[in-house]
Structure 1
């Protein structure tokens, strides 16, 4: 369902009314500056001034303005380039024309697709190769679905249109008397006092120069930048570097590095996971915004990060449920992670959902939760050398199916990190190259699954449970009352399930099937022998329920 623009406006209006939001419409903020004030919690206030000169003051500022400034490339003749933000969207305006599109992202292919059926031909020029999202696993790259990539078909299959690679700063555009646009090399235009007709074109010396035809239109689809112009330099949102010209400088908590209390949300926050995950798109920032909300709730209202506390015997099932159902982990892979905080003696745990991984060292300060007895971090990851612009993601033997090879999984799969102690900021900062987190005490990969359904008892659940048991030095299995009774007589340390269940008179009543299963497993050998002696009757208050025929089980299934 793709709603009409009017439907979206009505939805936003209903949303504001429902939550009684105080929204100032028709208000353009033209300047934001910092006012030092020792009485403020962060020692300053943000002063916002609108188009009428009205000033607004706040101590927390959330900026969600997206990327609104078209990226410009300065070269001779760039004034003839029409911007994506202003070019006509009516295909009839391009009928029979030769069109050159600068850029090679989704906006460039979207523009090409819109006019593909009416132009004489379309050429697309960019400094880099086409990057397809299924090869890079980055949703900002070109989607290979047929909705916007018709130009690739007409180029590769029909030789009607074309894609070329060149640095735009090395080129120039020359306009002739008839209004046609010619592409030439920049150095050929640098001779002083040249008339347009006197400028040498590459085809004058090389008659098969690729861009030798004249164009009627040149359209620039070169991406977007954050609008820094309204922010005073005192906010220190930009360092002046190449990357920080596109995105503001923020921490992994989405708070400005230069001004405490200023948070950047949505598309503009993509510097945290640029070309790594989906934080710059609605796929991902709907989850990162929620994380910021939780951080602010704790900072300003003393509300701890939401968590659920459960007995340790439910740890395996809690992790399995989340990796199979949590869309936040799936969309914001390698950025947001679930965190399990262990209680003393590992008898219980707290489960926190979708916490920014790179802020792990500050978890206690940001969430109000304690990590004194160890923790697990649950994250979704791709294989390290699997995807990339030049990778063949369809290579033979790309999939991994055996448990012992889980660490070599290529496709998106769950990875669990175990730490005895909360990592320090120094450990996070100086972690090994290409590691998302500092080196853990132990790490476990759940083998990738073709169906992305990690519920296989032997292939997924059993290895995970064994990993957790090794980390915790305990037995996380569930037992029936008969087994717990036997353990109380034969073991010094009972499994947690027996401590939390059987010793509290919460064990399950056995059945004939369970007793027979106990005999085969060797756990109930003596008890069963005694129960079969002549005259030994079962208690009337516990009749045995009928059970299915016992089937032989291999070791792994018996352990389950």
Structure 2
């Protein structure tokens, strides 16, 4: 009986457990169903809230009159909020707040909401309240707030992103403001015919990254060796679309702080006389204000350059002219300008237009003659013809990987209806064909052979030949206004179907008010802002100009207006900022005197900054007793301000300056005798070569202003030209190294030769003072420069006796001034002042 009772109890317990499990399972199913229903309701509420938010934004943006009754009723339904503590409701009508105040409402002009425990059913109302508050005047954060940063970079082009990298690496507070939706937006449109003329040479035969940058004209500087344009394009002359893609990749992978869609319309300066310096305020299209201590302008040149003359409104611009060659079929075209954009346009239409004429103030300047990359870039016709004659070379279509913009020169010189002419654009007039009787002179107005109505005939003449007064600069004159007493052999007397302006671009001065506007530079006829030698605006302290817009410092003389040039000037500006605002001196390398020659040879054979920015950026060597400080890529024209800009002092030992230069007479670049090979004739070098200047003291600003014409620096105490080299490799023992060492020995008044240990041992027995090489390498058994920290470390490590408790810097090893001896062998290019 007892066992049966126990069995029944166990069965009852099991039944209860089963019932409990069933109950729990049912509860779980019910709970799951409730969760699904809640999720569905929540999604529906979010959808309704989003619709309400959009509806609210539409109401706030309405400016076409009162709201309809249906809209007001719908708004009231959404505006009812059950809040016992505050029964204030708002609505947005034509940009103004209409409020009904309850007993707890205050006199504040802003909407006060106390968010208490709110059920999910009120989420749509919450979204509407947030949207309405965003619309209210005074509650719009983007319209009235001021965002402050230490550095504001205006423009996310190549220069702006390059500065952003350096600021980010230094962990500074900065923001890059870009008006478009991506970086490098200029290159989404220009060049119009979508071919870059900047070199992208991938294969150089070298693995040295710094050397390879000499032949990469598109990549920016970074600590990422793979972040180069060659990741996007492998063409020697890439397509224009590759550059915005590369800049987007650069900004994304480096995590730069770029804010897109910010169109700055006004820039002003405040605190003009404050001890701490002025500050700048930028206002965008939404009214948002950005304030900063330092403004870095990198907007580039994007405003088309125009010249006003009689009939200038009849001219098409490079920025709007059609790029389809078929639209120029059998038309006579006149192009104003002879730069790369003009020849690019001429090259595009040459096969369809009946004639192409180019007209400008100056004759055409070829880059391979002037060594200025902004002049006409071309692929040499003899080389082109030689390649075409080689049947092993297979070509499809045109030359996709070559910068060929010079065919119009061939057709001009070979007399095939095209040509170039010179004259002042301000003195010309373009008039419509047709006289007082309404009849046109010359050809008919129809495009010949196209079957389409032409644009009408346009005639070019001189404004002084017009009988009609031209003070109002109108184009309402015709050929009937042209005086009959004119030269009937005028080169451009034929009528034209189109006149296209290709005069380049200018800096946008319009966004700056009078307190912050940089003054125009005399260079490039006022197209560029005027800046100091360290690229700070003239009269605008704290405003620095970067990139192409800062090209006035080296206009038509170096590469500062192009990526492969201004990536280094941007780095120089950043180093100036670090010294001025953060007390961080210009980066320098401490070298012993016997290391100087090797380091100079390394720089002239590898460095890309002085190589591209020749005559503008140079290396500075500050001479000390037994060592020297080496500063890289300093703006040469700022040399009188060296101590202020870098934080380094110049001692009585003086300084050396390393510069890359072309010879003064280098225009006949293909003539006989164009190069020098004898090292004694280094001063006659015409091609790019290193030049060393020695100064016993820092040149003054007056010295800089009165420097010889064509010289980047004032006249030095001694100068040395390293002979030019066909391979641009300055490593020949006799022609390059030995003359350099002798020049340095003269400037430093010490022996820089290297000796074997046996020779150093003999010197130690027979001389009281040894050459620096023996002193550092033989006696000290080290390649480091002796200093107090090194001495203390040696004592603590037990390497030096404790009795030696002080360290004294060694004296310089004197060198007899044997170079002044009349029979002494002189290094190339050394000039000694008496």
Say which SS state the counterpart of residue 591 (structure 2) adopts. strand
1:124 aligns with 2:384: no
Aligned pair partner of 1:421 in 697, 701, 709: 697
User: 2: CA distance between counterparts of 1:362 and 1:458?
Assistant: 37
User: 1: CA distance between counterparts of 2:477 and 2:304?
Assistant: 31
Q: 1:302 offset after TM fit, Å? A: 2.3
1:38–1:205: structure 2 CA closer, same or farther, 3 Å change rule?
closer
1:9–1:162: structure 2 CA closer, same or farther, 3 Å change rule?
closer
Say which SS state the counterpart of residue 260 (structure 1) adopts. coil
Q: State the Cα deviation string for residues 147-192 of structure 1 (Å, max 9, x = none).
A: 1111001111243311111212222111235411111221232425
1:256 aligns with 2:537: yes
Which stretch of the first structure deviates more once superposed, 495-504 or 33-42? 33-42
**Map of 2:551 onto structure 1:** 270
**Map of 1:29 onto structure 2:** 264
Query: Which residues in structure 2 correspond to 1:236-255 (within 5 Å)?
Result: 236-238=517-519, 243=524, 245-255=526-536
Say which SS state the counterpart of residue 260 (structure 2) adopts. coil
User: 1: CA distance between counterparts of 2:500 and 2:477?
Assistant: 25
Q: State the Cα deviation string for residues 77-107 of structure 1 (Å, max 9, x = none).
A: 1111001111111111111111110100111
User: 2: CA distance between counterparts of 1:394 and 1:457?
Assistant: 28
The question of whether the paired residues in 2 share the 8 Å contact of 1:184 and 1:201 is answered with: no
Say which SS state the counterpart of residue 475 (structure 1) adopts. coil
**Map of 2:251 onto structure 1:** 16
1:497 aligns with 2:773: yes
Query: Which residues in structure 2 correspond to 1:195-344 (within 5 Å)?
Result: 196=478, 198-200=480-482, 206-238=487-519, 243=524, 245-343=526-624
The question of whether the paired residues in 2 share the 8 Å contact of 1:64 and 1:264 is answered with: yes
**Map of 1:520 onto structure 2:** none
Q: State the Cα deviation string for residues 310-331 of structure 1 (Å, max 9, x = none).
A: 2211111100110011111111
**Map of 1:535 onto structure 2:** none
Aligned pair partner of 1:149 in 406, 414, 435: 406
Which stretch of the first structure deviates more once superposed, 172-181 or 59-68? 172-181
The question of whether the paired residues in 2 share the 8 Å contact of 1:238 and 1:244 is answered with: no
Aligned length: 501
User: 2: CA distance between counterparts of 1:292 and 1:329?
Assistant: 15
Moved over 4 A (4+): 2-7, 37-40, 192-195, 204-207, 239-244
1:190–1:285: structure 2 CA closer, same or farther, 3 Å change rule?
farther
The question of whether the paired residues in 1 share the 8 Å contact of 2:432 and 2:477 is answered with: no
1:449–1:293: structure 2 CA closer, same or farther, 3 Å change rule?
same
The question of whether the paired residues in 1 share the 8 Å contact of 2:534 and 2:635 is answered with: yes
Q: 1:244 offset after TM fit, Å? A: 6.3
User: 2: CA distance between counterparts of 1:439 and 1:209?
Assistant: 49
User: 1: CA distance between counterparts of 2:321 and 2:331?
Assistant: 14
Aligned pair partner of 1:70 in 300, 304, 307: 304
**Map of 1:91 onto structure 2:** 325
Say which SS state the counterpart of residue 628 (structure 2) adopts. strand
Aligned pair partner of 1:377 in 654, 657, 660: 657
Query: Which residues in structure 2 correspond to 1:457-468 (within 5 Å)?
Result: 457-468=733-744
1:464–1:187: structure 2 CA closer, same or farther, 3 Å change rule?
same
Say which SS state the counterpart of residue 60 (structure 1) adopts. strand
The question of whether the paired residues in 1 share the 8 Å contact of 2:565 and 2:609 is answered with: yes
What's the Cα RMSD here?
A: 2.3
Q: 1:349 offset after TM fit, Å? A: 1.6
1:354 aligns with 2:630: no
Say which SS state the counterpart of residue 164 (structure 1) adopts. strand
The question of whether the paired residues in 2 share the 8 Å contact of 1:40 and 1:59 is answered with: no
Q: 1:121 offset after TM fit, Å? A: 1.2
User: 1: CA distance between counterparts of 2:483 and 2:374?
Assistant: 36
TM-score, normalization by structure 1:
0.85
Say which SS state the counterpart of residue 469 (structure 1) adopts. helix
User: 2: CA distance between counterparts of 1:29 and 1:279?
Assistant: 25
1:506–1:359: structure 2 CA closer, same or farther, 3 Å change rule?
closer
1:184 aligns with 2:461: yes
**Map of 2:724 onto structure 1:** 448
User: 2: CA distance between counterparts of 1:354 and 1:218?
Assistant: 45
Larger radius of gyration: 2
User: 1: CA distance between counterparts of 2:726 and 2:513?
Assistant: 51
**Map of 1:41 onto structure 2:** 276
User: 2: CA distance between counterparts of 1:498 and 1:240?
Assistant: 54
1:441–1:75: structure 2 CA closer, same or farther, 3 Å change rule?
same
The question of whether the paired residues in 2 share the 8 Å contact of 1:30 and 1:49 is answered with: yes
Say which SS state the counterpart of residue 281 (structure 2) adopts. strand
Q: State the Cα deviation string for residues 375-407 of structure 1 (Å, max 9, x = none).
A: 1100011112333xxxx3333322222222211
1:461–1:76: structure 2 CA closer, same or farther, 3 Å change rule?
same
**Map of 2:168 onto structure 1:** none
Q: 1:429 offset after TM fit, Å? A: 3.0
1:156–1:217: structure 2 CA closer, same or farther, 3 Å change rule?
same
Which stretch of the first structure deviates more once superposed, 425-434 or 470-479? 425-434
**Map of 2:131 onto structure 1:** none
Aligned pair partner of 1:161 in 405, 418, 422: 418
Query: Which residues in structure 2 correspond to 1:371-410 (within 5 Å)?
Result: 371-372=650-651, 373-387=653-667, 392-410=668-686
1:197–1:376: structure 2 CA closer, same or farther, 3 Å change rule?
closer
1:10–1:125: structure 2 CA closer, same or farther, 3 Å change rule?
closer
**Map of 1:527 onto structure 2:** none
User: 2: CA distance between counterparts of 1:66 and 1:409?
Assistant: 35
Q: 1:263 offset after TM fit, Å? A: 0.6
The question of whether the paired residues in 2 share the 8 Å contact of 1:81 and 1:219 is answered with: yes
1:160–1:371: structure 2 CA closer, same or farther, 3 Å change rule?
same
Q: State the Cα deviation string for residues 346-395 of structure 1 (Å, max 9, x = none).
A: x11221111101111211221122221321100011112333xxxx3333
User: 2: CA distance between counterparts of 1:210 and 1:244?
Assistant: 27
Say which SS state the counterpart of residue 135 (structure 1) adopts. helix
1:109 aligns with 2:346: no
The question of whether the paired residues in 2 share the 8 Å contact of 1:185 and 1:201 is answered with: no
Say which SS state the counterpart of residue 363 (structure 2) adopts. coil
1:401–1:233: structure 2 CA closer, same or farther, 3 Å change rule?
same
